[in-house]
Structure 1
Amino acid sequence: MSIVIKQDAFVTDEVMQIVARERAVALSAREWKHRLAGYGYSIRDTDDGKHLLETLPHHVTLCELPEELFN
């Protein structure tokens, strides 16, 4: 199954600022995912170890998240 990523550079940058800010204030990955859901986003982990940011509730993939957000 191939993953189609819908990208608009400006929107992706704006969303990534939200994602990074919320990660910085979240005490755990679980809290972070909950906070992102409040903005209408979810994180999907793939079989090959990637983390994809998706919209809720339609699960449209926006971008791949950098690994440093998970460390």
Structure 2
Amino acid sequence: PAMELETPKGNKWISMETPPMEPVNAIRMELETFAGSIRSSTPPPVTLEDGLGALQVAYQILDQIEKSATYA
């Protein structure tokens, strides 16, 4: 599908495509990767600090959703 957008410099056309994706069980993949790191004595691809940062961002998003819902 394509659509036209108004911009300050005139209208622009954009097209959108949805690439094919295979279903993935993210939790299973995460656990398999973690187990592989333990078996091979290598650091996991996502550090504890990375996970904590992602969790903090997720909580900030939830807070903003809750705040915006009270104003709607």
Regarding TM over 0.5, the answer is no
**Bigger fraction of residues in helix:** 2
Q: TM-score, normalised by structure 1?
A: 0.25
Q: TM-score, normalised by structure 2?
A: 0.25
Greater relative contact order (Cα < 8 A, sep 6+):
1
Pick the structure with greater CA Rg: 2
